[in-house]
Amino acid sequence: MSGTAQIGVTGLAVMGRNLARNFARNGFTVAVHNRTTAKTDALVEDFGDEGTFVPAHTPEEFVAALERPRRLVIMVKAGEPTDAVIKEFAPLLEEGDVVIDGGNAHFEDTRRREKELREQGIHFVGVGISGGEEGALNGPSIMPGGSEESYASLGPMLEKIAAKAKDGTPCTTHIGPDAAGHFVKMVHNGIEYADMQLIAEAYHLLRAVAGYSPAQIADTFRSWNTGRLDSYLIEITAEVLAHTDAATGSPFVDVVQDRAEQKGTGRWTVQIALDLGVPVSGIAEAVFARSLSGHADLREAARGLPGPSAAPLGTEEAAAFADRVEQALYASKIVSYTQGFHQIRAGSETYDWDIDLGAVASIWRAGCIIRAAFLDRIRAAYDSRPDLLSLLSDQQFADEIGAAQDDWRTVIAEAVRQGVPTPGFAAALSYYDGLRADRLPAALTQGQRDFFGAHTYRRTDRDGSFHTLWGGDRSEVPAG
Q: For residues 57-116, which are near ligand NBP according to CB under 6 A? A: 75-78, 81, 84-85, 102-104
Closer residue to ligand NBP, CB minimum distance, 15 or 272: 15
CB-count burial class (<10 Å; 0-12, 13-18, 19+) for 284: buried
Peptide bond into 69 cis (omega under 30): yes
Contacts of 222 (CB under 8 A, 6+ apart): 238
Contacts of 140 (CB under 8 A, 6+ apart): 19, 129, 130, 131, 161, 162, 163, 171, 367, 368
Closer residue to ligand NBP, CB minimum distance, 129 or 357: 129
192, 220, 193: which is closest to 206 by C-alpha? Answer: 220
180 near 350, Cβ under 8 Å?
no
Residue ranges with strand state E in 38-193: 52-55, 71-74, 98-101, 123-130, 141-144
Q: Min. distance of Cβ 65 from ligand NBP in angstroms?
A: 17
Q: Min. distance of Cβ 87 from ligand NBP in angstroms?
A: 9
33 near 63, Cβ under 8 Å?
no
Q: Min. distance of Cβ 189 from ligand NBP in angstroms?
A: 9
Q: For residues 125-184, which are near ligand NBP according to CB under 6 A? A: 129, 132-133
Q: Min. distance of Cβ 76 from ligand NBP in angstroms?
A: 3
Cα 243 to Cα 204, 249, 339, 454: the distances in Å are: 17, 10, 33, 60
Q: Min. distance of Cβ 356 from ligand NBP in angstroms?
A: 23
Q: Any idea which residues carry the catalytic annotation?
A: 185, 192
Q: What is the signed CA dihedral for 122, 126, 132, 137, rounded to 10 degrees?
A: -30
Coil/strand/helix, residue 468:
strand
Q: How far apart are CA 375 and CA 392, in angstroms?
A: 14
DSSP 266-306: HHHHHHHHHHHT---HHHHHHHHHHHHHH-HHHHHHHTTS-
431 near 281, Cβ under 8 Å?
yes
Alpha helices in 295-436 (DSSP H): 296-302, 315-351, 357-363, 374-384, 395-418, 423-436
Q: Min. distance of Cβ 123 from ligand NBP in angstroms?
A: 19
Q: Min. distance of Cβ 15 from ligand NBP in angstroms?
A: 3
Q: Cβ atoms within 10 A of the Cβ of 457, count? A: 17
Q: How far apart are CA 80 and CA 262, in angstroms?
A: 20
Q: Min. distance of Cβ 367 from ligand NBP in angstroms?
A: 11
Cα 371 to Cα 136, 333, 419: the distances in Å are: 15, 13, 32
| Residue 262 within binding range of ligand NBP, rule CB under 6 A | no
For helices 315-351 and 180-208, give the axis angle rounded to 10 degrees: 170
Q: For residues 10-39, which are near ligand NBP according to CB under 6 A? A: 11-16, 34-36, 39
Q: Which residues bind ligand NBP (CB under 6 A)?
A: 11-16, 34-36, 39, 75-78, 81, 84-85, 102-104, 129, 132-133
